[in-house]
Structure 1
Amino acid sequence: MRTVPKSYYKHFSNSEQIDFQKQSSLITLPQPRAHPFVPKDHPFFVRTDLTAHEMGPPKTVRTISQEAFDEVVKENMEDLGMEPTEALQDAIQTLSLQGVDLSGIVKCVPGESSLKDNPLIQSLERLKQLDLNSKDKFSDEDLNEMMGLFDKLIELCGGNEGSVNAAVATKNGGVELVCSICYKMRCGSKRVLDSCLKTMALLVHDVQSTETFRTGGGPKLLVNILIDGNEDPEILNSGFAVVAASATGNEVVKESYMELKIDELILEILSRQRNDSIQSLYDAIRVLLTPDDDQVVASQVYGYARRFAKIGIARALVHSLHAGLSSPSLISASIALKAVAVNDEICKSVAENGGIDALLRCIDDSGLQGNKTVARICCSLLSKLAGSDSNKSAIIENGGMDKLIVVSARFSDDASVLQEVMSIITVLSLRSPENAARAMEAGSGDLAIQAMLKFPNAQQLQRSSCFMIRNLVARNPENSFCSVMVSRNLSDRQRRTTKSARMQPLMH
């Protein structure tokens, strides 16, 4: 048995070397199998099937430069006599085992290709030249060339290997470069600026790239571009796509946008635009109000949602629902509105502006047109709004219970739709014996039985069914026959689960 040699650490900084040596001292490497070209004491010949115990405690992810990676491959060839392909694979295997993050590294086979041959790197290098050669603006000739280069980057970063290429572009200064070009393009060609923003939306794909975007002044630059181009739907659509991408998983970026009053800009655009061409606007709302940063103990998005509702964004989103299934933004607007509706007051305001009526119409129409996606999304939003006691009455008075049973019958082969329908009935029946009785009259008991029998392996649907049954019978002795019906038709496991119906109603 042996350990990783000290010569390996020369590819890292001094601080990384010290920490790396401490970590790697916990790893013992077995003697490699016999190989006709590689000595048995080859330092990089390691196993990839080490167990967690053998590997020791989790290691901090480290990065390596492109030059250092290429040097490791070169050493494998020159010092150990490996073939080019073998040298490359060995370097990848060894570095990955040692906890080195290889995302953004161009993995070229020596002698067959090089970093300069990569089309992504070529496009970035040419854009860097054009950016350096220009002072404050670009010539028409440069703009035409840049258009082609951005289209190439969009193709490379948006295809099957998009995430890999986006990481390579980020590693090679792509985010900083595109920000610099966007700054110079603010008053230039809108067509090229649109492509520039589309490229940026693809490049900011992880926490590291969004941090680079933030520290480079990206949020302020982007908001200024949106303000300047607030009459251009294409610029707005591309710009808000960048907002959504850059704010995903990064609480600090969300805060930066809120400090720049992006909520007021969103309201202005929602109030003015009626052509439903800015789909990414709704994505931006959803992302800004989603607590998805694992590094933050307490997210501020709840306060952001209340701020959105206070200035009128919830009301504007409700207006998007009134167009019904004919609106291409119906699904996006429903998801965004669900993110905004975070408390009882906001849920009530949605109903006061006709949101409940609009949703019930959409649910009914989705069944007639066979649109499962609309049915599922609208039911999910209605479940959120039904959390308000006053909204429960509005849903029942508008025939909501019967419409839910009808749509569940039309989509009886889709577990996701049935699950959302039962979620609504669960909420409507909570602390309301009258609503529970109406649900039983409408056929919710049969719905639960049929769904549980038809989808025995759909765990979430089984769970939703049991929750609904529990709330239906908890305060209604006359509904107790529901548990009898279920017990006669369901399996032993399902029957044991439904015994919870005798317990207190499920609280949400």
Structure 2
Amino acid sequence: MGPPKAVRTISQEAFDEMVKENMDDLGMDPTEALQDAIQTLTLQGVDLSGIVTCVPGVDSVKDNPVIQCLDRLKQLDSNSKDRTHEKDNEEMVELFDKLIELCCVEESGNAAIAVRNGGVELVCSLCSKIQIGYERLLVLALKAMASLLHDVQSTEIFRKSGGPKIVVGILTDGSQCANILNSGFSVVAAAATGNEILKESFMDLKIDELIIQIMRGQSKGVHSLYDAIQVLLTPDDNRVVASQVYGYARRFAKIGIAGALVDSLHEGLTSPSLVSASIALKAVAVNDEICKSIAENGGIDAILRCIDDSGEQGNGTVARACCSLLSKLAGSDTNKSAIVEKGGMDRLIKLSARFSDDPSVLQEVMSIICVLSLRSPDNAARAVEAGAGDLAIQAMQKFPAAQQMQRNACFMIRNLVVRNPENRTLLLSNGIEKIIRKAKVNHESNKAAATDALRDLGLDDYNS
């Protein structure tokens, strides 16, 4: 792990003193003094997140509602070693509600203020003392925790405060309560996002085994469980050269996550967790063996059925998630054959017709057909027979500004024609050359993909 990038910071006291000097020494009025301090420090590259920007002597840091919430929670935390006083608990419910409301206001800086003023340590302390029986209070405490974890600084404080062990303990003890599980796994997802060390901490605590146990028991309504799986298996910490998530995915697969997640897909569009489960399953599918095991557990059948249903119901979110997952599974040659044999090409073209006005769905369909046709002349022929060539032509003409869709179309065309001369003739006779050249000019990022498509169409001047 590389060293974190140095960031200039300032204490609350130093900030307040600077504003005071602007008023006392330079004769600025309070508002001008405050704005000058903020502007000067910002220009100097000082990180002001977590600073309560108020005028000393006019306003008080203590008047900030986030600080007031934390101060009262600290008093209640120090009053008792456990959370059994009903009166205190009711007050804490109100305080956590207020803290969550404040920290969830976008661009307010309230979460950063809470973190800088000991919020993460405090909520960790409180969570460790609240008994499972006090469900409402515990759920709100966990929600407050998740609202505070928004960057590496806050997640590192969480780690050093024993957060992973506290949360896994709560999830274990509260495994029969969907509300506790939902709020607890939200903390896992928030904490592990962008933090490789915390992913490792949770895996060391065998959270994979706990997740499987919960999924085999009762996971209905626990949407955040799927988010936690996805985050734990995503290499998103840019401080790390080589992430360990590939190994974590294999650990998950070894204890049966493929079957458990496929079971969630079998519920179809009636399941509110369908999209999250699809994204989680895609994160698990890191190698050919796991991709095949997903298929063996009925994954391809479930996904194709969800794709059909999403088209009938016009649900683009489900269509995109399921197509993206199917594209990942199609990386296995065994799965390619299974998808095509189950009518995959025709079902995908049918889906594209249902979403002919949505380039975000069309680009996912093209991505799958591209993978299915890779090194497979038979599949390329079937794709064109199903209408993949017409899809490319119509979509590229209809959405010239859709950069990623145009790029995916070029990739798909390459695989449709590179081993199939008859497909080249068909597409060229339908005017594909002019369309690709337009995409090449319109999008600099598509230049290489368009050039390769023109070359594989057999054109001599593909570089021009």
Question: What TM-score range do you get, normalising by the shorter chain?
Answer: over 0.9
Is the 8 Å Cα contact of residues 345 and 383 (structure 2) preserved in structure 1?
yes
Residue 182 of structure 2 corresponds to 237
SS at match of 2:241: coil
Q: For structure 1, which segment, 473-482 or 145-154, has the greater mean C-alpha deviation from structure 2 after superposition?
A: 473-482
Residue 309 of structure 1 corresponds to 253
SS at match of 1:136: coil
Residue 121 of structure 1 corresponds to 67
What one-letter code is carried by the residue in structure 1 that aligns with 2:68?
Q
1:191 equivalenced with 2:136 (yes/no): yes
What one-letter code is carried by the residue in structure 2 that aligns with 1:446?
D
> Counterparts of 2:295 and 2:253 in 1: how far apart (Å)?
13
SS at match of 1:169: helix
> Counterparts of 2:366 and 2:33 in 1: how far apart (Å)?
57
Q: TM-score, normalised by structure 2?
A: 0.93
Structure 2 CA distance for partners of 1:447 and 1:243, relative to 1, 3 Å: same
User: Aligned pair count?
Assistant: 444
What one-letter code is carried by the residue in structure 2 that aligns with 1:255?
E
> Counterparts of 1:149 and 1:332 in 2: how far apart (Å)?
31
Residue 173 of structure 2 corresponds to 228
Write out per-residue CA displacement over residues 5-63 of structure 1, whole angstroms, 9 at most, x where no aligned residue.
Answer: xxxxxxxxxxxxxxxxxxxxxxxxxxxxxxxxxxxxxxxxxxxxxxxxxxxxxx93111
Structure 1 residue 187: Cα displacement: 4.6
Is the 8 Å Cα contact of residues 440 and 479 (structure 1) preserved in structure 2?
yes
> Counterparts of 1:175 and 1:188 in 2: how far apart (Å)?
23
Match of 1:467 among 411, 421, 427: 411
Is the 8 Å Cα contact of residues 223 and 276 (structure 2) preserved in structure 1?
yes
Residue 493 of structure 1 corresponds to 438
SS at match of 1:480: helix
1:259 equivalenced with 2:214 (yes/no): no
Write out per-residue CA displacement over residues 147-184 of structure 1, whole angstroms, 9 at most, x where no aligned residue.
Answer: 1000000110112345x100000000000000111111
What one-letter code is carried by the residue in structure 1 that aligns with 2:90?
N
> Counterparts of 2:6 and 2:40 in 1: how far apart (Å)?
16
Structure 1 residue 188: Cα displacement: 5.2
Is the 8 Å Cα contact of residues 483 and 501 (structure 1) preserved in structure 2?
no
Residue 81 of structure 2 corresponds to 135
Is the 8 Å Cα contact of residues 66 and 102 (structure 2) preserved in structure 1?
yes
Is the 8 Å Cα contact of residues 290 and 301 (structure 1) preserved in structure 2?
yes
Is the 8 Å Cα contact of residues 251 and 293 (structure 1) preserved in structure 2?
yes
Superposed structure 1 runs of 4+ greater than 6 Å apart: none
Is the 8 Å Cα contact of residues 433 and 454 (structure 2) preserved in structure 1?
no
Residue 284 of structure 1 corresponds to 228
Structure 1 residue 111: Cα displacement: 4.7
Q: For structure 1, which segment, 89-98 or 430-439, has the greater mean C-alpha deviation from structure 2 after superposition?
A: 89-98
Structure 1 residue 138: Cα displacement: 4.1
Which is greater in Rg? 1
1:144 equivalenced with 2:99 (yes/no): no
> Counterparts of 1:383 and 1:71 in 2: how far apart (Å)?
58
What one-letter code is carried by the residue in structure 2 that aligns with 1:145?
E
Structure 2 CA distance for partners of 1:471 and 1:67, relative to 1, 3 Å: same
> Counterparts of 1:259 and 1:494 in 2: how far apart (Å)?
49
What one-letter code is carried by the residue in structure 1 that aligns with 2:203?
M
Write out per-residue CA displacement over residues 356-382 of structure 1, whole angstroms, 9 at most, x where no aligned residue.
Answer: 011111101111111111111100000
Q: Using CA pairs under 8 Å that are at least 6 residues apart, name the structure with larger relative contact order, 1 or 2.
A: 2
Is the 8 Å Cα contact of residues 127 and 142 (structure 2) preserved in structure 1?
yes
Structure 1 residue 488: Cα displacement: 6.0
Write out per-residue CA displacement over residues 257-313 of structure 1, whole angstroms, 9 at most, x where no aligned residue.
Answer: 000000000000111115x21000000000000000011110000000011011001
Residue 170 of structure 1 corresponds to 115
Q: For structure 1, which segment, 128-137 or 140-149, has the greater mean C-alpha deviation from structure 2 after superposition?
A: 128-137
Unaligned stretches of 5+ in structure 2? 441-449, 459-464
Structure 1 residue 485: Cα displacement: 2.0
Match of 1:76 among 15, 22, 31: 22
Is the 8 Å Cα contact of residues 121 and 161 (structure 2) preserved in structure 1?
yes
SS at match of 1:490: helix
Residue 157 of structure 1 corresponds to 103
> Counterparts of 1:74 and 1:138 in 2: how far apart (Å)?
45
Structure 2 CA distance for partners of 1:404 and 1:170, relative to 1, 3 Å: same
Unaligned stretches of 5+ in structure 1? 1-58, 504-508
Residue 324 of structure 1 corresponds to 268
> Counterparts of 1:405 and 1:92 in 2: how far apart (Å)?
56
Match of 1:205 among 127, 150, 165: 150
Structure 2 CA distance for partners of 1:292 and 1:206, relative to 1, 3 Å: same
% identical aligned pairs: 72
> Counterparts of 2:266 and 2:132 in 1: how far apart (Å)?
37
> Counterparts of 1:483 and 1:269 in 2: how far apart (Å)?
55
What one-letter code is carried by the residue in structure 1 that aligns with 2:11?
S
> Counterparts of 2:422 and 2:132 in 1: how far apart (Å)?
71
1:101 equivalenced with 2:47 (yes/no): yes
Structure 1 residue 501: Cα displacement: 2.3
SS at match of 1:170: helix
